[in-house]
Chains A and B, each alone.
Chain A
Amino acid sequence: MAKQYKTLGEDIWKNRVETINAELFIFTYGSIVAQLVKDFEDYEQVNKQLEKMGYNIGVRLIEDFLSRSGWGRCTDFKETMEVISKIGFKMFLNIAPTVTNWSTDSKVCSLILDENPLNDFVELPLDTQHKLWYSNILCGVLRGALEMVQMQIEANFISCVLQGDDISEIRVQFIRHLQEELPNADD
């Protein structure tokens, strides 16, 4: 099963995705974050803003993802996470984070980002120690995308190589299934 995700992800990446220059992408994201830091002067706020931006990306991106991958309904949260990692991340960033550290009730897990293209070239200012999550936009994307398929989740970075940690880890927590609710307005 796991292999099937991987092959599909790679197939989509190779044949059905238009790529852009990596540096263009990295520098664009970099300057957005740097500008936010300059404007808000508060890393908490910057994290929040990045998450919001990611949310707005996510609610749109899920449609693109589903139509491109042709993937149907997932049976459980575990499968969802595998699909996100092996197909979703692969499709848009060409990385496949490891899904691991499942809690016993299968509601909380970790995405370990072995590599993160957003991080390239980046060196955080010295005073950001464990305050600024540079790639926090990813958490927002996850939340936005899953909300559109009636799943409420919460995603947070708990460690990041840019902060001097050994690995970058996003903790994803499943909260509940949304029943026939309208999505929240863009905030």
Chain B
Amino acid sequence: MSHVYYFTIVGTNDVPLYEAEFGMQIKDTSLSAKEETRYLNQFIAHAALDIIDEAVWNTTDLYLKTLDKYNELNVSCYVTPSNTRFILLHENKADDNIKTFLAECHEFYIKILCNPFYTVNTPIVSPTFEQRVKSLARRFLL
């Protein structure tokens, strides 16, 4: 069983900063259906933004659990204190792994922010960040 994940970071002005897909393999035919709806992922994630904006007021936690559902896909979200949103689309039920994944991503995001050459709310192009997130996904999601 291989799950498919779509992960995106949305900046404070609703601009996407980073996106990644995990577990996407095109080789087997049963996945081609997922492949076809892949373009929807961005829509689903960004459609959740309004719900997230409301949900942040109901809790003091940064992790907002699963907020939205679209067909098979659950939308989980993590909002940093500065209102940067980490959105993860996943098929299985939200569990501690997903929570840990998002929290660890937050750590990496802080490291990115500490880099004097990074400007807030610009796309994250750092290869180190990319690599860290990928290995995190392998550890906690796949």
Contact = CB atoms under 8 A, between A and B. Distances in A.
B111 interface: yes
Interface stretch (B7-15, B46-54, B61-69, B112-120): B112-120
Interface in B116-131: 116-118, 125-128
A150 B5 CA distance: 64
Interface in A12-41: 27, 30-31, 33-34, 37
B125 A31 contact: no
Contacts of A126: 125, 127
Interface residues of A, number: 13
A121 B125 contact: no
A125 interface: yes
Interface string B98-142: 000000000000011011111000000111100000000000000
B38 to A, nearest CB: 28
A123 interface: yes
A85 B96 CA distance: 48
A145 to B, nearest CB: 25
Nearest to A28: B116
Contact of A37 (B115, B117, B125, B128): B117
A34 B116 CA distance: 6
Contacts of A30: 115-117
Contacts of A121: 111, 114-116
B17 to A, nearest CB: 15
A8 interface: no
- What is the size category of the interface that chain B forms with chain A? 10 to 19
Contacts of B117: 30, 34, 37, 122-125
Contacts of A123: 112, 115, 117-118, 126, 128
A122 B116 contact: yes
A115 to B, nearest CB: 17
A34 B127 CA distance: 19
Interface string A102-134: 000000000000000000111111100000000
Interface in B67-116: 111-112, 114-116
B24 to A, nearest CB: 26
A41 B142 CA distance: 43
Interface of B: 111-112, 114-118, 125-128
Given A27-B116, A34-B116, A124-B117, 8 more contacts: A27-B114, A30-B116, A31-B116, A120-B114, A121-B116, A123-B128, A125-B117, A126-B125
21 contacts: A27-B114, A27-B116, A30-B115, A30-B116, A30-B117, A31-B116, A33-B116, A34-B117, A120-B114, A121-B114, A121-B115, A121-B116, A122-B116, A122-B117, A123-B115, A123-B117, A123-B126, A123-B128, A125-B117, A126-B125, A126-B127
